Structure formats: C-alpha cells, structure tokens
A and B are shown apart, each in its own frame.
Chain A
Amino acid sequence: MNLTVAVGEVDRPSLPSTSQAGPAPKRIVVAYGFWIFLLSDVVMFAALFAAYAVLATATSGGPTGAELFDQVSVGIETACLLASSYTCGLMSLAVGSRRRGATYLTAALTFALGAAFLVFELSEFTGMIARGATPQRSAFLSAFFTLVGCHGLHVSAGLIWLSVMMVQVAVKGFRPTVERRLQCLSLFWHALDIIWVGLFTVVYLMGVRP
C-alpha cells in the first residue's frame, strides 16, 4: 500500500489525484449537493413549462395572452430580477472578503429589487383576476398561474431566506456554516433568474405573438 502511494508520488509529485487527497472540503460538498437540488428544481419547472406550452392555446373562449400581458410591467420585472442577480453576485464577493457593511448593503439592494419584482407580479395578477382572468377560467390560465405563481413563490422563499441569513450574519458573524448557507442562497437566487429568462421568453414574449 505504501509502495503504491510512493510510486504515484514519484510519477506526478506535485499533483496528487482527488481520490488520494481524501474527502473534499465541506464547502465543495455542500455547494455540489445544493447544485443537484437546483437541477431537480429546474426539472420540476420543466414539467410546468411543458404543461403551459401544451395548454397555451386552450383558452376556452376566454382572454388570450395577447389581451392580458403588459409588456412594460414584464420589462420592469425582468430588469428588477436581473439587477437583483447582479447585486447578489456582489454580495457573495463581499462575503468572500468578509466585508460586513458591503454584505448588508448588497443584501438590502437584492431584497429591495426582489420585493419590487414581487410587487409588480402581484399587481399584474390582481389586475388579471379583476378582469375575470382567474385560474378557473381556462386551462391556459390554470397553467399560467401555476408556472408564474410557482416562480413567484420561489422568489418569496428566497427573500425570506435572505432576511434570515442577514440576521445570522449579524448574530453569528461569518462562520463557516453561515458562509456555506450564503453560498447556497446565491446559487438559488441566480437559478431563479435563469428560470425567469425562460419564463419571460416563453410566456410573455412568445405568448403575445398572434
């Protein structure tokens, strides 16, 4: 056994392989596990996207997407979420260099932009429901509210998570556990923005074509 290790070290002295190096640091294991969870979340969204794409024309005589969707409001929502993804990236940089003030500032910006996104989305939903376009009206609207509402729920969960993490930074400081949670949070937030790219392309831009 010792002989094999020695031969391996003679062959490539500066580069022991990953299997010789032992278990990876917890930071890598945790982030990789969360990465796999995110991919399963994306697969769930794929099922909702498939349902929407199949039912997009099943309006049952009710309002169509072209009549309901407001491009200006969608544009503002997109800008908010993209900017919040950017500030979330800046937050992970601030966490990496352990600057507390910058972390709070970028987290507050991320929270404000995410909350603005939710406000616009909810006002869009209430406007649609006031015009009689409820989820019960047609299969198209059921699929629409399921898909967009599920994304909105993810954003709400992300906002709650972000607030909890800021409390943890304030109380516990930059411990390794807190840093790993912040790392997962930023992965989650970027993944939400990637899903929103597919969402506004498929639902709001392709959906309004005649």
Chain B
Amino acid sequence: MTEIRFDRAPGDRSVLPETEEKTSAGVLVYTIGLVIAATLTSISFWVANTSLLWAPGIPLGLAVLGIAQMGVHLVFFLHITTGPDNTNNVLALAFGVLIVILVVAGSLWIMANLNNNMMPPLELMDLHMQR
C-alpha cells in the first residue's frame, strides 16, 4: 500500500498539494489561463462591436467564444482534466451541463412555439409581449 490512487479534488492540481512541485509552475498555469481568457474576452467585445463581420453570424460566434472561455477557466483555473482521477468531477460537471442545456434550450424552444401558435388577436397585442 505504498501508493493509493484516490480521486483528485476539484480545483487541485495534484493529489497531495503539500508535495506539489514548485509553485512557479502553478503560477505559470494560472498566467497562461489569464492570457487566453483575456484574449478571448477582448475578441468577444470586438466581435460584438465591429461592422466587418456578417451580422447574422455574430450571436453564434459570441456563443462559441463564450463557451471556449468557460472551457479555458475550467482547465486552467479549476484544473479539470481528462485523467482517470478526475472522472467523478467530469461526470458531475457533464450532468450539470446536460441540465443547463435542457433548461435553457427547452425554455427557448417551448416559448418560441407558444409565441408562434398562440398569437393573440390584434386588439390584444399591446397588452402582451411586443417584438
């Protein structure tokens, strides 16, 4: 029983933080994450304000940039990896993401359907949602 393989706690870089390698390596990981996240944020703000890009594609591009930045935060700040000691963390995260997608996409889908199928008569329009 020299080496016991426990799962890694979320947010930890190694199983035993006391015996971690030098802190400079940890600082480097956080700094790389900060630089990538700041770059993605500035690209997002540029994309939202520029007139150079095809306008209908901009919301999709912003969504992709946002999801990419969340991934950068998870990998570089929360140290989520694909390693076997991280399986439980990743599975819990995947379940959370599933619920988030169901709630958001489901609400948007159902409400768009209701807006299309239950359009009120014209004289009632100003009491309801206005486009």
Contacts and interface: CB of A to CB of B under 8 A. Distances in A.
Given A18-B5, A32-B10, A206-B62, A61 B130 contact: yes
Contacts, number: 164
Interface string B19-44: 01001001100110110011001001
Main secondary structure of the interface of B (DSSP, over half): helix
Interface in B52-74: 55, 58-59, 62-63, 65-66, 69-70, 73-74
Interface string B104-131: 1011100100000000000000000111
Interface residues of A, number: 64
Given A21-B6, A201-B63, A190 B77 contact: yes
B49 interface: yes
Contacts of A82: 34, 37-38, 41
A93 interface: yes
A24 B1 contact: no
A44 to B, nearest CB: 10
A32 B59 contact: no
Given A15-B5, A193-B73, A36 B18 contact: no
Given A21-B4, A54-B107, A190-B73, 11 more contacts: A32-B89, A32-B92, A57-B129, A85-B73, A96-B20, A97-B23, A139-B129, A197-B41, A197-B73, A201-B62, A209-B55
- Shortest Cβ-Cβ A-B pairs, 10 listed: A39-B96, A201-B66, A31-B9, A50-B107, A205-B48, A46-B100, A89-B30, A35-B10, A58-B129, A21-B4
